[in-house]
Amino acid sequence: MSPLGPSSGRRPDGAAFVIAAILAAAGTVLIAEGARIPARGGYAGVGPGDIPVLVGWGLVALALWHVVAGLRGGRGPGRVRQDAVAILWITGGLVLQNLLLWQAGFAIASGIVFAFTAAAFGRRNFAVSLPAGILLALLVYGIFDRLLKLNLPAGPLETLVFGG
Amino acid sequence: MNTFDFLLQGLAVALDPAILLYALIGVTIGTAVGVLPGIGPALTVALLLPVTYGLDPAGSLVMFAGIYYGGMYGGSTTSILLNTPGESASIVTAIEGNRMARAGRGGAALATAAIGSFVAGLLATLALAFLAPHIVKLALVFGPREYFALMVLAFVTVSAAFGDSAMKGLTSLFVGLALALIGIDGLTGQARLSYGVPQLLDGIEVTTLAVAMFAIGEALFVAANRVGADEKVHAIRGSVAMTAQDWARSWKPWLRGTAIGFPIGAMPAGGADIASFLSYGTERKLTRHPEEFGNGAIEGVAGPEAANNAAAAGTLVPLLTLGLPTTATAAIMLAGFQQFGLQPGPLLFATAPKLVWGLIASLLIANIMLLVLNLPLIRLWVKLLTIPRPWLYGGILLFATLGTIGVNPSRAELAMLMIFGVMGYLMRLHGYPIAPVVVGLILGPMAEQQLRRALAIAQGDWTTLVSTPLSAGLIGLAVLALAVPMLLRMRGRGAVLAQVAKDDD
């Protein structure tokens, strides 16, 4: 964001302030954590607590920079409208996988991730995408768990196909 | 023994059938991910890292390097036929390459890209072999303060020197540095920022962060923006071959691209995308056909494609000789070395010469494999572009979670994967680069250790950091790399820098 560059309007940039607040909060956490750690600098004079303080102040400085940039406003290209439903599909699939993984097994849980991601990209026909995802996940399970000795959680499906 | 003997010894290692197989797998996967838009070499190596825990270290590293090289080859295909770069180092290739494809000269564009990549890869790998022992000797005089200065320089060039905003790059870097602090301090064993949570005590896994930000973040971004949904693949008309005139116009750009790409990759001065961009600019200035630039000039494909391959080889110089990653892919490869208990650096050349030279020799062989994979078999790869996007991204996400499930199976780690994914999406949305986060996470603890060691040696005297000409020079370069681009941006010359930067390498 070049302050003297071509600017489309001088509206303050809201996003910059939100980001500034997050950076300042993270910086404060780091500084507080650094202060909590007993000073054991030894010969260096710089101990395990001092680097978090340093990085913390760096974050605070960046937060201030964001505030200044936000006040100057004038963003570059306007942001494209975001498809919130697509994001919910993908994150929803990941959450479901996390919840189901140790009960339903790798194939079913990962098949859900596959089908939900496909749904985010417009393919909402679960009668096709879910079996396709589970089949792909079963194949991956066969290769990585059985051949490459990666330990993937097995559920009823895996036991059925590959044995116990 | 001189370099030549070492290289011969390395060739003996590289010609082992098992290593050849690893190299072949690496370059095949690398070409595939290079061709597919949305996944780059950094992500692929991160995805495969957990899978290789149980495999042979030498073979796995050869495979990773093969993926890196292959990604550089494959990226051009997408640029030329689809106008969507498969990875960011091929953005420039899309400018002229796609025009050539539209004009029915896609075959010549693909050929010059593949042969140029081969020439550059071969020369740059040889340069790597002959340069590495000298850098290793130089590195022996490096103390903690020189390493720290070198890392500061790498931090600046990765985050702030290129891109549309130093503020955003530095923010990404500091997010990475902050995440790196979570866990146990390497020097004193002090727990930091972990609040008693056992998963946090272990620190943030580089692979979890990289996979989340590159794969999940990218998938969220593409899905939410519906970008590129209506792009059309240009069929290859005619044969993938070059006319005598194409050869005449290509060979100089190949050599110039190599000469530009290798040093840029070798110095901590940014990755392959910068090299390809500079090469494009050079060819544009030197061409005898200026009217063709913008309408499909073959020089604009030959030069950048050679440059990005040469830069990929160059990146291995600081990685192998100093243990210093200068791109996201190199950072993840460093994590790969560490996974096998190997620390790249001058010592590695003494303790594991077979592995290092075997790796370098394998790259020469991988280059030949890639030429075969990319010239006669190119039509096969183009078929990959016809995979519908819902299936492609569904598969990417399935594989993204596979590594975490296989190696760190816990609800907390999977939740972290999703949270970092959303974070990667938000950063992309607001134009913050991803690579500095990954580099900060892996290089942060190393920089901290070197800093504290340097200060311990000097008994707390901070001026020690600039007390030798070498360290002062490196810090000075870092300051310049931060200040000059900022001045350029303030004077309205930022457009050039903005085009160079991308979130992946």
CA atoms within 13 Å, Cβ hemisphere of B255: 5
* CA-based nearest residue to B316, from B76, B445, B125, B153: B125
**For residues B350 and B126, what is the distance between their CA atoms, to the nearest angstrom?**
20
Give the residue with greater pLDDT, B416 vs A15. B416
Q: Which long-range contacts (CB under 8 A, 24 or more apart) does B492-495 make?
A: B492/A2, B492/A4, B492/A5, B492/A6, B494/A2, B494/A5, B494/B164
Token pair 């078999």: residue: B377
State how far the alpha carbon of B129 is from the alpha carbons of A118, B256, B267, B308, B360, in Å. 45, 20, 15, 18, 7
**pLDDT per residue rounded down to tens, chain B (505 residues):** 688 888 898 998 889 999 999 999 999 988 888 888 767 788 888 888 877 777 788 888 999 889 888 888 887 888 888 776 666 677 788 888 888 888 888 888 999 999 999 999 999 999 999 999 999 988 888 999 999 999 999 899 888 877 778 899 999 999 999 999 999 988 888 889 888 888 888 889 888 998 899 889 989 998 998 765 556 677 766 677 788 888 889 999 999 999 999 998 888 766 677 888 888 888 888 888 888 888 888 998 999 999 988 998 999 999 999 988 888 888 899 988 988 888 898 889 888 888 999 999 999 999 999 998 888 888 888 888 888 889 989 999 998 898 888 888 889 899 999 999 999 999 989 889 888 999 999 999 999 999 999 999 998 889 999 999 999 999 999 999 888 888 887 776 655 565 555 434 4
Contacts of B401 in chain A (CB under 8 A): 94, 97, 110, 113
Where in the sequence is the domain holding B262, given as residue range(s)? 3-139+146-500
Q: Is residue B227 a part of any domain in this protein?
A: yes
Contact B181 A82 (CB under 8 A): no
State how far the alpha carbon of B469 is from the alpha carbons of A145, B136, B207, B466, B478, in Å. 54, 19, 37, 7, 14
Q: Three-state DSSP class for B226?
A: coil
* CA-based nearest residue to B401, from A36, A50, A37, A117: A117
A56-114: pLDDT as tens digits:
999 999 999 999 988 887 555 556 788 899 999 999 999 999 999 999 999 999 999 99
**For residues B443 and B151, what is the distance between their CA atoms, to the nearest angstrom?**
7
**For residues B419 and B217, what is the distance between their CA atoms, to the nearest angstrom?**
10
Q: Is residue B205 a part of any domain in this protein?
A: yes
Contacts of A114 in chain B (CB under 8 A): 394-395, 397-398
Tokens of A11: 């509206």
Q: How many domains does chain B have?
A: 1
Burial class (CB in 10 A: 0-12, 13-18, 19+), B379: exposed
Q: Is residue B125 a part of any domain in this protein?
A: yes
C-alpha R_g of chain A: 25
Any A CB within 8 A of B232 CB: no
Tokens of A31: 């500084």
Contact B448 A97 (CB under 8 A): no
Q: Is residue B505 a part of any domain in this protein?
A: no
**For residues B335 and B313, what is the distance between their CA atoms, to the nearest angstrom?**
18
Taking a contact as any Cβ pair under 8 Å apart, which residues of chain A between 132 and 151 contact chain B?
132-133, 136-137, 140, 144, 148-151
Q: Is residue B350 a part of any domain in this protein?
A: yes
**For residues B430 and B426, what is the distance between their CA atoms, to the nearest angstrom?**
6
Q: Is residue B68 a part of any domain in this protein?
A: yes
Alpha helices in chain A (DSSP H): 14-36, 50-72, 84-104, 106-120, 126-141, 156-162
**For residues B163 and A32, what is the distance between their CA atoms, to the nearest angstrom?**
32
Contact A110 B223 (CB under 8 A): no
Taking a contact as any Cβ pair under 8 Å apart, which residues of chain A between 43 and 102 contact chain B?
43-49, 51-52, 55-56, 58-59, 62, 65-66, 69, 76, 79-80, 82-84, 86-87, 89-91, 93-95, 97-98, 101
Q: In whole angstroms, what separates CA B101 from the centre of its chain?
A: 27
Q: What is the pTM of this model?
A: 0.89
* CA-based nearest residue to B334, from B207, B202, B228: B207
> Residues near B300 by Cβ (< 8 Å), separated by ≥ 6?
B92, B93, B95, B96, B97, B280, B283, B284, B293
